[in-house]
Structure 1
Amino acid sequence: MSNPVYGKHAKRSRDVEKSSGFIWALLIGLIAFLAWTPFQTALFNGQMLEFEKPIFWAAAAACILLFLWIAQYYKSIRLEDQRDLLMVGVLLLPLTYAISLISAASHYLAMNMVIIQCIYAIIFVIGLYLLRDKMGNRVIQTTIMTVAYLIVGFGLLHWFGQGKTAGAIAKWFSNTVLNGIYTNAVMVDSNGLRLTSVFQYANTYAAFLMAFLFAAIFFITTSRKWYSQAFHSFMLVPIIVSLLLTLSRGGLVMLPVVFVLLLVFLKPAKQILWILYCAIAGVASLLISKPVTELGLQLNEKFSSSGALKGWGILLGVSVVVGLLGWVIQRFVAPMLDKVLDKRSAKKGSSLWIPVGSVVIGGLLIFLFIGTSVKNILPQNIAIRLDNINFNQHSVLERFTFYKDAMKVVADYPIFGAGGGAWASLYEQYQNNPYTSRQAHNFFLQYLIEVGIVGFLIFMSFILYIFYKYIRGYMKADEEGRNSHFLYVIIVLSILMHSILDFNLSYVFMGILVFLGLGGMAAVMDSKPLTKWKVKDTTARGIYSAAVGIGAIVILITSIRYIEASSSAWEARKLAQTSESFEEIKAPLDKDLSIRPSHPDSVLILSSLYHSAYKQTQDEGFYNLSVDLLNKALKDEPYNKFMINRLIQGHELKNEKDKAFDLLTANAYKFKWDIEWYERIINQALDLGYQALGTGDTAAKDKYFKSGTEAFEKVQVGIQHLTTLPEGQLQGRAFENTPEMILNSGKMYFMTNQPDKAAATLKIGLQEDLSQTANQDIAQWYLASLQKQGQSDEALMDNLMKVNPNSKQQIQQLAELQI
């Protein structure tokens, strides 16, 4: 029996009014806006000022959408079936982020995530209602596919060196266009050029392409118009070529996994068609991948119109052929397959045989492209990336390290988490080795870190319940009902599966696609009436509308104020570069900080302004203002290294070296793989110890020298630990002894009557080349340490005397020091 929500002639399950054109228009506008500003809304950059304003504009637009939704659907708001529980349950997601503010590692990032989660909740609720309407569903699906195809074309324009053409279009609605070109639409890393389109991050673009590759195939097999079948078939090659050009191993690994999962939903005839389209488009894309790749590499280095024309000619020519084949297959082959396999489709378990077979075939293809010479048909950069797919590859090992480190954070913040953006704030404290990654490269682990076990269980229950109820409804529906909302399953499943390996949902655009997709799935899920908790319609709609309305008003006001604050901060940054007026620069900063007192960018600019004023006037009022500002901000941002360093600089500026040193040592555990931090502790410990020694304060001398040598010992432990990393794993940032660190640590051991430790430390820094003063100093203190123990190194002494005849006398003086 068909689910009443599905089906061509079925009545809607209850009185749902037709969607308002205003809601369609605003929702379409929001999707399009965020599609071209996904990098600005991503949470992986340390300095957020350039990227935060689109988040707040999106939140304001979402709130307006919600008000329109309440006005349009007020009479339809009820609590009478299981679908309505989701309308209430989705509100728990931003609520868990709001609760995590209590223990947030960064109040600034955590508040941003509360606002983002509110956007997602609003989009879900609107989608839950809007996508029940046939026309609304059709408009939104067309919009999503149009935006997706435009993004593919936008990326290929950049690949063929036509960034200025694309930038001329994008500059009207994106602030990432610099010098006429959209920034990093083709990124460069150790693997060479990688296509990113609007995402500016290749792996997330790969997840996006994977989703819309399957979406295109879905529309080929379900569209009734010949031109629609041909056009979606035409887009397969550009999508697959773009996917190859991302050089994303995660995308290539997850693509067959998601493909098999989607096949399970389909009847055997459709499964064969999906495999056929993937095979045809895949072979066609591989055949042209070498020339397209090589032309792109050349054109990004030096543009030529003839080269770009040749690249487009190859790509479009092959795409046209595949487009025609798609139409032919749908016109002649698809009906025959339906007829032949119609009876077989009715058998239980019939939809599992082909997916199982495709796993075997997929495994064989993987073996051919990775373990044999077949990979030589691919461009070299793609072949190398495929060849490196293994568990001992450095990016895989690094991800396993991220995941282990993430669980350390969870262990310390288990119940309600460490707030939005917690990984970016905390990872340096918990990291196993000195990598740099403000993302954990696993959305689910990152979510667990941010909201704890309670929030994570709520989120996973929400997701899994929708999938469970959708699948139940899907099994009961007729063919048209199954097809009506299957696009949303493709989008949600593709993005979430790839997010196991990466941070796709740090992009608000990707998050909106997922939550709109979840709303679409929930709109047609198998939904039973509520019997135990049924509430009167008027009571339900009144309470719910009031609650979400008040919440939306708060978010709208907050977003508008944050837009104002961000604009003021941006104005202050520009003034700081052009103006010398203290009051002119300070005015917009004060305005920003009156709204967001711990806004990191403005705190840092204003504290720098106070420092400059103090240096010029020696007025301690400016110094005190800076200290108060930073201490207040650090209560909300205790892990902000820039703020801590600025406070340390302030104390040093006022010659309060003991306070600066105390801050260095107190915060060292937060940045345990920052070698410069240890170096500063060691150097300042020696200076302060010398000062204490000069005043006869041996207790202070011993305290400082002990802190310095303990820091040095931690460095040695860290260096030893790095030798245990797996062979294929990269260490990350430099973490090694420096000559200055060795010399100063050796001196401190020597002056605390530990000549054996001094000698062992200084020996690390001994060099054959003694022409440099630093190397001579290390050798002299080393020989003095040996002499203190009644030992010597004649060969070293002879070499030292050759470059400095006074060395023997100087070493004797050091050895006789009475400390």
Structure 2
Amino acid sequence: MSNPVYGKQAKRSSSVEKKPVQFWLLIVAFIAFLVWTPFQVALFNGQMLEFEKPLFWGVALSSILLLLWIVNYYKSFQLADQRDWLPLAVLLLPITYLLSYFGAASHYLAMNMVLVECLYAIIFIVSLYLLQDQRTNQIIQTAIMTVAYIIVGFGFLNWFGQGKFAGALVAWFSFGVMNGKYTDAVMTDSNGLRLTSVFQYANTYAAFLMAFLFAAVFCLIRSKKWYGQAIHALMLVPIIVSILLTLSRGGLVMLPVVFVLLLLFLKPAKQILWVIYCAIAGVVSLGISKEVTDLGLQLNQKFEAGAAAKAWAFLLIASLIVAALGWVIQKFIAPKMEQGLAKTFAKKLANLWIPVGAIVVAGVVAFLLIGTSVRDILPQNVSTRLENINFKQHSVLERITFYEDGMKVVKDYPVLGAGGGAWAALYEKYQNNPYTSRQAHNFFVQYLLEVGIVGFVIFMAFVIFIFYKYIRGYIKADEEGKESYFLYLILALSILLHSILDFNMSYVFIGILVFVGLGGMAAGMDSQPLRKFSWKTEGAGWIYSLVVGIGSIVVLITSIRFVQAADAGLEAKKIVQTSTSFEEIKAPLDKDLGIRSSHPDSVLLMSSLYQSVFKQTQNESFYNADYVLLTSALKKESYNKDIINALITNYQLKNEQDKAYDTLVANAPKFNWDIEWYERLITQGFELGYAALGQGDTGSKDKYFKEGIAAFERVQAGLKHLATIPKEQLTGRPFSNSPMMILDAGKMYFMTNQLDKAADTLKKGLKKDLSDSTNREIAHWYVAAMQKQGSNDQAVLDQLIKVDPTAKEQIENLLKLNF
């Protein structure tokens, strides 16, 4: 009996042999794009000049893909059923980012994200149509799995110390190779070495591996050819070992969750096969994990061919064992299993037995590996990471803090959001403590604060509708129909669920995989005719193609222009290293800023150039040019700390200390936990107030002292708040009172006759060692504040006199001061 869902697709798709040349060109271009993108280190969402060029090339290439799509599908586009409206609906995603751009915290980051969302929309549209053709669907699934396996192999080349060889393989087309090696294919953090392959971030690689572990199991069971079964079974061990080498706790936590959810879609016999393959591959992987880990750590310190061969031998032999077992199970056991278990699992809700059992088994395994000495079978670094999995672990508490801080942003930008990249621009203003994180570590929180409630609702409605209609179609489909698009569910579900815990979607290749997944799910969804709409849609293809064609050309031109801007910016940075010529450095910067006027890196480099020349020549035209440059940039990048600091420096070059100080004060709320900002604010507040006092300007003195004291009191409030943070949570960057900060604040309290506060403040800075001049001065002012209140601290006074015989005289002079 024909499947009602897939039967409609078959009617739409004529046989592949009849497809024109341009159709094959689109397929080849699409596959080439999938192969190219993962090796572009900069297809991270672009927050540095070095990341931008490949990002914009990716957007440009996607625009060309859309133009090829138009050539193939402009005649067949229609608005007859629910699926047909998805190419229209997906355009709302970049539109919401475009709307948020106008009120964005950073126009630079927001525009980058508008282009990224255009790329995602294009990938979805192309995927949706290509994957409705069954032969094309098979080709693209094969290409996706091939790319994934190449990435896994690439990771092991780097783990086994062969980074130079791996870099040479991709250097001819990848922007990620520097000094002959792929950037951070093995990263280092406080946990030691962690495998990242092409992603430079271990947790994102873990999300990728989790998705393709389940994809490999699915392809193994689905494959009808022995070599297909062998290849997919062969990759199970490398994928699982790679997951362990990422040291990703989030990956290990989410893996059983996704596994159980996917089991719910399968018949009991296939559920058993999934459990068997994961169990076999898991046991074998654990068996070699210590050797592979230790050898990799050794080889990354010093490469030895013998040790590398030994490491590859462990991996290859273990993989061959699992491949052989997989072939045997598929050849002799799997065909009989479904028939033999048909009666056993014929009862109602029988397909829930194994998922429920899997939950129990996962719980037991988790308990053994986390709470008992069984974890000692794992490599030491993995064992340590597992030991620290709990809800009081610092990374969990920090993520909760990120999410709470993200909601503060949403509260201030509820409707349209704060624009793409808003978290990176704004987090220092809203953060609960002085952590450093340019990512919110939750895709959904980050999406919400970027595009607001309107954009978030549109995105979630889009995704949920596709999942809902796909599941309806899956339930109705025959066995072949179920398998045709299940890979796309695996990819989208796995990555989106893991993105609750991390910023995987900030890597554009991961986002591409998700939107290919959504496109594939939409191609296989239960699509009902839109009978309520009676208007004719014969011209819909022409109209839609015209609109998206114009849009793709605009995106193409914009992205190429941005590539030119990035090239110019990078050229200027190179010239600075070898030349001091003003005109030579300025020329590429003018080109860059002519295209993107607030491009932060180039704004800062141009500013430093103007300031350097002004210091040398005292020609005010350079000062004025710098002022115009910086103030114009701050209209679009008002939260960019480096640009604000450049403006402060600009004022100071002309000794306009009052303007510099006012800029410090005005921008202090944007950086609530930057202790260096507070130190400057307090110190300069005292210096300017003291200077005003010397000139008899008591009004200015009161103003500066009031602002300096307010800054100091904010620091004290911050310190009290930090004391309430759970001890398991890292507080972040240093945040404490410095001796100079205490001295200046104490002086300001003293000079405004707040003697009790002066004494309390100065007492915080008292040290036993008074050989340091700052410590002695704190002690002088402290004793003076005490005596002026009619009290004394004789111990401190005696200690001062031992070190400084003139201490009494200095204190008496302070007491005589009249403010």
TM class, shorter-length: over 0.9
Task: After TM superposition, give the deviation of residue 343 of structure 1 in Å.
Answer: 4.0
Which whole-Å CA distance do the structure 2 matches of 1:533 and 1:585 have between them?
61
Contact 2:186 2:195 in 1 (8 A): yes
Contact 1:188 1:194 in 2 (8 A): yes
Which whole-Å CA distance do the structure 2 matches of 1:458 and 1:394 have between them?
34
Task: After TM superposition, give the deviation of residue 42 of structure 1 in Å.
Answer: 1.4
Which whole-Å CA distance do the structure 1 matches of 2:479 and 2:610 have between them?
69
Letter in 2 for 1:371: G
2:647 maps to 1:647: yes
Which whole-Å CA distance do the structure 1 matches of 2:283 and 2:512 have between them?
33
Which whole-Å CA distance do the structure 2 matches of 1:99 and 1:255 have between them?
36
Task: After TM superposition, give the deviation of residue 302 of structure 1 in Å.
Answer: 1.6
Task: Specify the alignment match of 1:617 in structure 2.
Answer: 617
Which whole-Å CA distance do the structure 2 matches of 1:175 and 1:57 have between them?
11
Which of the numbers 36, 42, 45 marks the counterpart of 2:39?
Answer: 36
Which range moved further: 426-435 or 593-602? 593-602
Contact 2:209 2:243 in 1 (8 A): yes
2:550 maps to 1:530: no
Task: Specify the alignment match of 1:439 in structure 2.
Answer: 439
Task: Specify the alignment match of 1:133 in structure 2.
Answer: 133
Task: After TM superposition, give the deviation of residue 533 of structure 1 in Å.
Answer: 2.4
Which whole-Å CA distance do the structure 1 matches of 2:494 and 2:2 have between them?
27
Which whole-Å CA distance do the structure 1 matches of 2:687 and 2:345 have between them?
82
Task: Specify the alignment match of 1:27 in structure 2.
Answer: 30
Matches within 5 A, 1:81-480: 81-344=81-344, 346-480=346-480
Which whole-Å CA distance do the structure 1 matches of 2:86 and 2:525 have between them?
11
Task: Specify the alignment match of 2:747 in structure 1.
Answer: 747
2:67 maps to 1:64: no
Structure 1's unaligned 5+ residue stretches are: none
CA distance 1:284–1:534, change in 2 (3 Å): farther
Task: After TM superposition, give the deviation of residue 348 of structure 1 in Å.
Answer: 3.7
Letter in 2 for 1:625: A
Contact 2:5 2:476 in 1 (8 A): no
Task: After TM superposition, give the deviation of residue 538 of structure 1 in Å.
Answer: 2.8
Task: Specify the alignment match of 1:11 in structure 2.
Answer: 10
* Percent of aligned positions that are identical: 65
Task: After TM superposition, give the deviation of residue 18 of structure 1 in Å.
Answer: 4.1
Task: After TM superposition, give the deviation of residue 683 of structure 1 in Å.
Answer: 0.7
Which range moved further: 337-346 or 513-522? 337-346
Partner-residue secondary structure (3-state), 2:342: helix
Contact 1:401 1:432 in 2 (8 A): yes
Partner-residue secondary structure (3-state), 1:383: helix
Which whole-Å CA distance do the structure 2 matches of 1:519 and 1:10 have between them?
14
Task: Specify the alignment match of 1:694 in structure 2.
Answer: 694
Letter in 2 for 1:747: K
Which range moved further: 333-342 or 761-770? 333-342
Task: After TM superposition, give the deviation of residue 588 of structure 1 in Å.
Answer: 1.0
Letter in 1 for 2:572: A
Partner-residue secondary structure (3-state), 1:12: helix
Which range moved further: 119-128 or 336-345? 336-345
Contact 2:561 2:595 in 1 (8 A): yes
Task: After TM superposition, give the deviation of residue 472 of structure 1 in Å.
Answer: 0.7
Task: After TM superposition, give the deviation of residue 97 of structure 1 in Å.
Answer: 0.4
- What whole-Å deviation, never above 9, does each CA across 1:338-394 have from its counterpart, x for those lacking one? 111234555442221111111011111111111111111111110111111100000
Which whole-Å CA distance do the structure 2 matches of 1:434 and 1:744 have between them?
23
Partner-residue secondary structure (3-state), 2:187: strand
CA distance 1:3–1:87, change in 2 (3 Å): farther
Corresponding residue pairs, total: 815
Contact 1:5 1:12 in 2 (8 A): no
Which whole-Å CA distance do the structure 1 matches of 2:10 and 2:197 have between them?
42
- What whole-Å deviation, never above 9, does each CA across 1:108-161 have from its counterpart, x for those lacking one? 100011101011111101111100112211111111111111111111111111
Which whole-Å CA distance do the structure 2 matches of 1:774 and 1:44 have between them?
44
Task: Specify the alignment match of 1:779 in structure 2.
Answer: 779
Partner-residue secondary structure (3-state), 1:193: strand
Task: After TM superposition, give the deviation of residue 531 of structure 1 in Å.
Answer: 1.6
Which whole-Å CA distance do the structure 2 matches of 1:272 and 1:123 have between them?
35
Letter in 2 for 1:818: N
Contact 2:492 2:517 in 1 (8 A): yes
| TM-score (structure 2 length as normaliser) | 0.98
Partner-residue secondary structure (3-state), 1:669: helix
Which whole-Å CA distance do the structure 2 matches of 1:466 and 1:183 have between them?
36
Letter in 2 for 1:43: N
Task: After TM superposition, give the deviation of residue 102 of structure 1 in Å.
Answer: 1.8
CA distance 1:579–1:25, change in 2 (3 Å): same
Which whole-Å CA distance do the structure 2 matches of 1:239 and 1:534 have between them?
52
Letter in 2 for 1:389: I
Contact 2:689 2:700 in 1 (8 A): yes
Which whole-Å CA distance do the structure 2 matches of 1:653 and 1:32 have between them?
51
Contact 1:443 1:504 in 2 (8 A): yes
Which whole-Å CA distance do the structure 2 matches of 1:664 and 1:563 have between them?
35
Contact 2:52 2:566 in 1 (8 A): yes
Which whole-Å CA distance do the structure 1 matches of 2:138 and 2:779 have between them?
79
Task: After TM superposition, give the deviation of residue 297 of structure 1 in Å.
Answer: 1.1
Partner-residue secondary structure (3-state), 2:436: coil
Task: Specify the alignment match of 1:575 in structure 2.
Answer: 575
Contact 1:219 1:229 in 2 (8 A): yes
- What whole-Å deviation, never above 9, does each CA across 1:731-760 have from its counterpart, x for those lacking one? 000000000100111111111111211111
Which whole-Å CA distance do the structure 1 matches of 2:290 and 2:539 have between them?
64
Matches within 5 A, 1:513-662: 513-662=513-662
Task: Specify the alignment match of 1:481 in structure 2.
Answer: 481
Letter in 2 for 1:496: L
Contact 2:592 2:602 in 1 (8 A): yes
Which whole-Å CA distance do the structure 2 matches of 1:729 and 1:231 have between them?
44
Contact 1:3 1:473 in 2 (8 A): no
Task: After TM superposition, give the deviation of residue 449 of structure 1 in Å.
Answer: 0.4
Which range moved further: 164-173 or 671-680? 164-173
Which whole-Å CA distance do the structure 2 matches of 1:717 and 1:335 have between them?
69
Contact 1:4 1:12 in 2 (8 A): no
- What whole-Å deviation, never above 9, does each CA across 1:27-75 have from its counterpart, x for those lacking one? 11211111101x3121374xx1100111211111111111111111121
CA distance 1:326–1:180, change in 2 (3 Å): same
Contact 2:39 2:176 in 1 (8 A): no
Which whole-Å CA distance do the structure 2 matches of 1:44 and 1:440 have between them?
16
Contact 2:80 2:529 in 1 (8 A): yes
Which whole-Å CA distance do the structure 2 matches of 1:721 and 1:115 have between them?
40
Partner-residue secondary structure (3-state), 1:217: helix
Which range moved further: 679-688 or 176-185? 176-185
Letter in 2 for 1:397: L
Which range moved further: 167-176 or 288-297? 167-176
CA distance 1:11–1:168, change in 2 (3 Å): closer
Task: After TM superposition, give the deviation of residue 236 of structure 1 in Å.
Answer: 0.4
| TM-score (structure 1 length as normaliser) | 0.98
Task: After TM superposition, give the deviation of residue 543 of structure 1 in Å.
Answer: 1.5
